[in-house]
Amino acid sequence: MKELSAIAKSVQASPTMAIDAMFKQMRADGEDVIGFAAGEPDFNTPDHIKKAAVQAIEENFTRYTPAAGILPLKQAICDRVHADLGDKVCYAPEQVVVSSGAKHVLYLALRAITNPGDEIVIFTPGYVSYFEMVRMVGGVPVNVPTLEENGFKPVPAEFEAVITPKTKAVIFNSPGNPTGAVYDESELQALADICVKHDLYIISDEIYNCLVYDGKPYTSMAVLGPQVRERLILVNGVSKAYAMTGWRIGYGLTTKEIAKVMSNYVSQSTGSPCAISQKAALEGLTASQDLVGTMREAFQARRDYMVSRINAIDKVSCIKPEGAFYVMMNIKKLLGTTIGGSRIKSGEDFAKALLTQGKVALIPGEGFCAPGYVRWTYAASMENIKEGMDRLERFLAQ
């Protein structure tokens, strides 16, 4: 047999999915494990959104749609962005591409701008899929590490220092997964200025925009003016805001030219996003946003609880994330120690030991390029978070 594609063979399975699969298997086997690994809201999709989908089916809205999404949904996306970000940000439906989840929109964005060998800058710790997606389109990921003491935000000069003639774009993510870092406008401006100076595209993943805490406003790369918007692909979706992870609707807002290229890719690959899910997403975006606020308040209370419990435990610590629903727990003081007979040399060792002994699933930092850390999600019930923290305490007390 001839060789499979070298690029395809080099793609690694998502480590977050791998741990989640192990956790689900243990649970299927009847073990009392608690999961803090998967990044999805534990809330159910709101009823009014589910009803819109049922209505779509009953009305036989079940056929192919335009490749980049139905016009009312594209218009609703423009309106939502306008409502969230104000008059400075005005997109037209031709600038919108709806696809099967924000993940796929990120892939399309990278496909649209990357030639083989182009370098794409990623700030680390970063979302696991960025690294593999860049490789999947023939690009080269270039990591710029950030530090916990800087709130996991990059030093602009360190970003500028990695730029070469081959640098094509930067992937930016606020609020961030896995760090929960939220950038204010001046921090965004400092990074955007570098992108304008070096003529780089900006892929700005703002999928957690509804989850910014403590009354801090959400701001976006899109507010920084036309010089930024002409190089920007703003990525978002309905998964996190409306508890719709399984419906697979994400969207990108960009220039008409880039939107056209992305849309052509959709038309020749997935064809179009799911018609029924588009109707559900339309309902989510256009109905009252009160439930989004209710979910945000619940997440904030869980974050506060989790952060205070972690920081009360010896040898582990975390900073308080300002957005998304993750906590990066620093386990550096545990490296080189033995817990319950398990030698801990890495985040992976720690996550495996905690899962097998403590019956708690979380994600090792290595997949995010964050050795010395493990990621918890607080998209879990308060009851489970309490139990998870008790288990962590008992595991570490051995």
Q: Which stretch binds ligand PLP (CB under 6 A): 101-109, 156-164, 292-300, 344-352?
A: 101-109
Please provide the DSSP assignment of 26-77 as one string.
HHHTT---EE--S-S-SSPPPHHHHHHHHHHHHTT--S---TT--HHHHHHH
245 binds ligand PLP (CB under 6 A): yes
Rounded Cα gap, residues 204 and 228, in angstroms = 11
Q: Which is nearer to ligand PLP, 303 or 359 (CB)?
A: 303
| CA gap 371, 100 in Å, rounded | 31
Between 37 and 344, name the residue whose CB sits nearer to ligand PLP.
37
Sheet holding 373-377, edge to edge: 326-330, 373-377, 363-364
Nearer residue to ligand PLP within complex by CB, 326 or 395: 326
Q: Which is nearer to ligand PLP, 102 or 291 (CB)?
A: 102
The residue from 102, 108, 120, 275 that contacts ligand PLP (CB under 6 A) is 102
Q: Quick one: which of 151, 237, 364, 365 contacts ligand PLP (CB under 6 A)?
A: 237
Q: Which of 37, 207, 262, 274 binds ligand PLP (CB under 6 A)?
A: 207
Which 4-63 residues touch ligand PLP, going by CB under 6 A? Answer: 39
Which amino acid, residue 362? L
Contact pick of 20, 119, 205, 348 for ligand PLP (by CB under 6 A):
205
Look up residue 165 and give its two tokens.
């003639």
Is there a contact between 228 and 170 (Cβ–Cβ < 8 Å)?
no
Rounded to whole angstroms, the Cα distance separating 222 from 19 reads 35
For 18-43, b/e burial (b = at least 16 CB within 10 A) is: ebbebbeebeeeeeebbbbbbbebbe
Is 277 among the residues that bind ligand PLP (CB under 6 A)?
no
Distance, CA of 256 to CA of 141 (rounded, Å): 26
Q: Which is nearer to ligand PLP, 102 or 361 (CB)?
A: 102
Size of the site for ligand PLP (CB under 6 A): 13
Return the number of the residue (20 or 118) whose C-beta is nearest ligand PLP: 20
**Of residues 95, 124, 167, 173, which one binds ligand PLP by CB under 6 A?**
173
CB of 155 to ligand PLP, least distance (A): 21
One residue of 101, 141, 151, 252 binding ligand PLP per CB under 6 A: 101
252 binds ligand PLP (CB under 6 A): no
**Burial tier of 312 (Cβ tally within 10 Å: 0-12, 13-18, 19+):** exposed
119-124, strands of its sheet edge to edge: 96-99, 250-253, 232-237, 201-205, 167-173, 119-124, 140-145
Nearest distance in Å: CB 339, ligand PLP: 29
> In the window 112-131, what residues touch ligand PLP (CB under 6 A)?
127
328 binds ligand PLP (CB under 6 A): no
Q: Which range binds ligand PLP by CB under 6 A, 74-82, 100-108, 109-117, 146-154?
A: 100-108
The label of the residue with tokens 């649970």 reads 27
Per-residue DSSP letter, 150: G
Tell me: does residue 177 bind ligand PLP (CB under 6 A).
yes
CB of 175 to ligand PLP, least distance (A): 9
Specify the 3-state DSSP secondary structure of 16: helix
Give the span between the Cα atoms of 264 and 67, in whole angstroms: 8
Residue nearest to ligand PLP (CB): 101
> What is d(CA 252, CA 201) in angstroms, rounded to the nearest whole number?
14
Does 192 help bind ligand PLP (rule: CB under 6 A)? no
**Site residues, ligand PLP (CB under 6 A):** 39, 101-103, 127, 173, 177, 205, 207, 237, 239, 245, 250
